[in-house]
Amino acid sequence: MKASVIGGGSWGSAFALYLGRQNIKTKLWIREPDIFETARKEGENKVFLPGYIFPPEVSFHHDLEEALSATDLIFVAVPSQFCRTTYSHMAPFLSRDHVVISLTKGIEKKTLMRMSEVMAEVFKPFDQPHLAVLSGPSFSKEVAEGHPTAVVLASAEPDLAKKVQHFISSLSLRVYTSRDIIGVELAGALKNVIAIAAGISEALAFGYNTRAALVTRGLSEIGRLGLKLGAKKETFSGLAGMGDLVLTCTGPLSRNRHVGFELGKGKPLSAVIASMRMVAEGIVTTLSSRQLARRENVEMPISEQVYLTLYKNKDPQNALVDLMSRTLRDEEGSLP
């Protein structure tokens, strides 16, 4: 099989680099003309993945139809806010033989749809490809460096998932399979909100106790919303849930943790966004998760305080006071 990766950001570039190293013929579609030209001439994405030269198995493309032609597996690594438009441009070039795998960890802002739901809706008038999602604790830079990484591939078609699993797994990337698309996508998106809280906590010089509490209680509220939306409980203790949450809340390469850290130091959100070229999905997901929680009548206190800090200029210290002074309760009854 041959592969295409749609999206020349850090994750798309790192994933294409990985596939190429496995001797998989891979086409990497890059939207930005300047980045595409540099990659084509020098074999390197100097903006989003500097220092890593792509193997000859990876080719670079700016034309989407060209990037999708004569390929089998299509991995889409585009920020959630651009996914619907990208899917719409892809749709005419897809067939029932294609497998489209979302690498995006986000929720669409207006519709509150997961990315697989957006794909299904956009592709419906055309030939419907097979759909799957891939998530888990996977910093782009560490995948590019070849550090052992484990992820989960979720699909409603178990045989298809196993086929892709065996095709892309290696000694540096171990792929597990799941049927819980809802849980895998929600966990991957919502953990970014908790990571912002973890960054704020670090900026305020709180200790490991605080971080452990945020991770544990953050997982609890993610799980509550996930279960209400039809996810499986086990998913939240796996790679897409606990695994990715721990990484994003503790790893220095986390963009969302960085956003929280800058906010905790007193920088306004607009200035934080302006200083970043890469997208931190948690900024938008904070809005989406709040809307989902209210729609489903699910209590998500940490996410609510992150929302108030990001969008209502609430002082982070006051947010902590409100979290710590909530009505005391039994832990067992508050877990998902």
Determine phi and psi for 199, rounding to 5 degrees.
Answer: -65, -40
**Token pair for residue 249?**
């809340």
- Whether 244 and 222 have beta carbons less than 8 Å apart is answered as no
C-alpha to C-alpha distances, 224 to 170, 187, 333, nearest whole angstrom? 34, 11, 11
- The beta-carbon contacts of 86-91 under 8 Å, at least 24 apart in sequence, are 86/6, 86/7, 87/118, 87/119, 87/122, 87/123, 88/122, 89/64, 90/6, 90/64, 91/122, 91/123, 91/125, 91/126
105 and 189 in contact (C-beta within 8 Å)? yes
CA-nearest of 7, 65, 3, 16 to 36 is 7
Q: Check if 191 is active-site.
A: yes
Report the sign of the C-alpha dihedral through residues 28, 30, 36, 38, in that order. Answer: negative
Largest interatomic CA distance in the chain: 61
Relative to beta strand 49-53, strand 44-45 is antiparallel
Rounded distance, CA 163 to CA 223, Å?
Answer: 29
Q: Is the dihedral of CA 240, 116, 90, 92 positive or negative?
A: positive
CA nearest neighbour of 308 among 298, 299, 320: 320
Active-site hit among 27, 191, 265, 314: 191
Three-state DSSP at 56 gives coil
Q: What is the DSSP letter of 53?
A: E
| Residues forming the active site | 191
